[in-house]
Structure 1
Amino acid sequence: MKLTVQVRLLPTPGQAAALEATLRACNEAATWVSGVAFEKNVKRNFALREHTYAEVKERWRLGAQATQHVIKKTCDAYATLKANLKAGNLGRPGSRRYRRASEKPITFRPQGAQPYDDRMLSWQMAERTVSVWTTAGRIKAVEFTAAPGQLAFLALYRRGESDLLVRDGMWFLNTTCEVPEAPLNTDPHDFLGVDLGIVNIATTSDGEIMAGRGLNRIRSRERTLRAKLQKKNTTSAKRRLKKRRRKESRRARDINHKIAKHVVAEAERTGRGIALEDLGGIRERVRLRKPQRATHSSWAFAQLGEFIVYKARKAGVPVVYVDPAYTSRTCAECGHIDRANRVSQARFACRYCGFVDHADRNSSRNIRARAWELWRRGARSTAPAPPPRQRGGAGRERSATASGARCASPTP
């Protein structure tokens, strides 16, 4: 399976200037290529090369490999746009948002990521340096840093392209690694149900409640501070906002990684599979009052689900998605369904048999039971090969997975 590892580059000021000039030239060229593709309605790689290759090389002084990557990046962007329009992610046809996305060519940010292959980028793992092509020539001995385990991971499994990007003045390489998978456990003796929520991020059918109110208090404090700084609107306030803008997302990502690692390790240790709710499209299905919207929108359940799925695939643990309907209203003991069973956010009390439990634990037990029933009926693991669309974090592997299908066999 393919994972993406992000390592941080430590360029000198001169090297950083060369890298920045390269990104600007490549993205300026990509914006021009995008305009040609839109005007001529030619959005396939080889066909678009006929119209743009020679001029991009001459006008922006790019190498042959860089020029091809610029054209391919543009075609990939249009393919992604087409898929999003078809899926309805940009509104209905004819809507203002739909027209805004489809009626003008795609533009690229000056510091957008640029793909590099092995002809443009070489690694010296022993010296912890890379040699990178730039518009000013090839620069050598660009230092990088990573955790010792990640260095070994890169040395063993690095394959394919890397993406060069800059974020908040820091330089990174997102590197593709081909990681061997453990054999899939095709005969689990049970499932570990995982209920994903807002107050309690994850609750297992074993009764573990992970990253609940403490994380939400931190999020609330961050939102309050952000609002104060935005209201103040001074230069120092803007500087603080810029510095803190990704802090909450980094914290949430770190917590999601830890939860996913723990869940997968527990399932692997006990020979069980993992049961998750199919929560696709929940943001569109749920209508909330204004005070609840920020809390609901910061709920990174999709990210946590993706982390669980790719870590499970790596460990050979089967994953099954179940229908989430009425899992919070169904009694895990007698199966009685009643809205009144959910007494409060944290308390479940069955009106029929009197069973009392933590509401999220009761839901996770229902998820476990549904997954076991699906597996007995012939369902298969829904941990497909992760598409290489999301990139990794410094010193930690990451991947994205398609979480829509419920009973698809894993891709070999």
Structure 2
Amino acid sequence: MSSTSLPATTFRDRPLEPTPVGVDVGVKNLVAVAPADGDLEAALVIEGDHVRKRHKILAEAMQALQGAKFDTTDGQTQLFAALWHQIRPQVYDAAVRVVRYAQELPAPTLVLEDLSFCEATLWERRTVDDVGTWLLSALQHAVALKAQEVRIPVTYVNPKYTTQQCHVCGDLGRLKNDTLECTTEDCSVDTVCRDRSAAVSIAQQVDLGETTEVIGHHD
């Protein structure tokens, strides 16, 4: 876990009205973060190229080791430890940046998608090519832990359509590569970054009366 310390967020510093801050986790971009009424250009976006490359190396090496005709358990363990040592700081440093971004806003509440259906550890998915099978859950847990350290509430919302929904009109748009195209004629949105838009849409779905405690996650 990153040893980076964060300044505490105290309740007495908060006004009564909370600010929902949506956190969209992904693979190409590790996270996109924005408040419900935020400017997309001001959203925090952290790319995930380093993590993707390290995971690809891990998956290919693990597949080769498991295909060997001799016991490779020790080799798998050592290789996993070495690559996880490179990947893990990237995950937790991203979480620190998310929390610091949120702390710049009044009374932040972090809003995450409920992705409990895809929880898995990197060790369980060490031979799987799709980095998202473990990364999304790991990112969310790291963000929730860092938020808990500074007393920022965390809540979870239904992930359905958050990426496809236009953050302005709420209608479902057309996804193409990294963009979302809103097809509603009278909407001011044309084509936007899908991850930035998703972060705002996630923040807009929150019920601030419900917060969720961090659930344990094993590396």
**TM-score bin (small chain):** 0.7 to 0.9
Task: State the secondary structure of the residue aligned to 2:85.
Answer: helix
- The CA distance in 2 between the partners of 1:193 and 1:330, in whole Å, is 14
Deviation per CA, 1:273-293, whole angstroms, max 9, x where unpaired?
A: 211111111469xxxxxxx95
What amino acid does structure 2 have at the position aligned with 1:314? E
Contact 1:319–1:381, Cα closer than 8 Å, also in 2: yes
Q: Give the aligned CA root-mean-square deviation in angstroms.
A: 3.4
2:176 matched to which residue of 1? Answer: 343
How many corresponding residue pairs? 197
1:299 aligns with 2:134: yes
- The CA distance in 2 between the partners of 1:348 and 1:317, in whole Å, is 30
- The CA distance in 2 between the partners of 1:280 and 1:391, in whole Å, is 14
Q: Cα gap change, 1:251/1:343 in structure 2, threshold over 3 Å: closer, same or farther?
A: same
Task: State the secondary structure of the residue aligned to 1:310.
Answer: helix
Q: Cα gap change, 1:350/1:357 in structure 2, threshold over 3 Å: closer, same or farther?
A: same
1:190 aligns with 2:22: no
Correspondence list, 1:161-200, <5 A? 183-184=10-11, 185=14, 187-200=16-29
1:381 matched to which residue of 2? Answer: 211
1:326 aligns with 2:161: yes
- TM-score norm. by structure 1 comes to 0.42
What amino acid does structure 1 have at the position aligned with 2:175? R
Correspondence list, 1:214-293, <5 A? 214-233=50-69, 240-271=75-106, 272-282=108-118
What amino acid does structure 1 have at the position aligned with 2:58? E
Contact 2:180–2:194, Cα closer than 8 Å, also in 1: yes
Q: Once structures 1 and 2 are overlaid, which stretch shifts more, 315-324 or 303-312?
A: 303-312
Runs of 5+ unmatched residues, structure 2 = 35-41, 121-126
- The CA distance in 1 between the partners of 2:141 and 2:77, in whole Å, is 28
Contact 2:96–2:146, Cα closer than 8 Å, also in 1: yes
2:38 matched to which residue of 1? Answer: none
Identity within the alignment, %: 19
- The CA distance in 2 between the partners of 1:260 and 1:226, in whole Å, is 27
Deviation per CA, 1:211-247, whole angstroms, max 9, x where unpaired?
A: 4233212211222233334445568x77643421223
Q: Cα gap change, 1:369/1:255 in structure 2, threshold over 3 Å: closer, same or farther?
A: same
- The CA distance in 1 between the partners of 2:54 and 2:117, in whole Å, is 26
Runs of 5+ unmatched residues, structure 1 = 6-146, 151-180, 285-291, 393-412
- The CA distance in 2 between the partners of 1:242 and 1:189, in whole Å, is 45
- The structure with higher relative contact order (CA 8 Å, sep 6+) is 2
Q: Write 1 or 2 for the structure with the bigger share of helix.
A: 1
Max Rg structure: 1
Deviation per CA, 1:356-410, whole angstroms, max 9, x where unpaired?
A: 1111111111011222xx22xxx1432x3x57x6689xxxxxxxxxxxxxxxxxx
Deviation per CA, 1:112-156, whole angstroms, max 9, x where unpaired?
A: xxxxxxxxxxxxxxxxxxxxxxxxxxxxxxxxxxx9x99xxxxxx
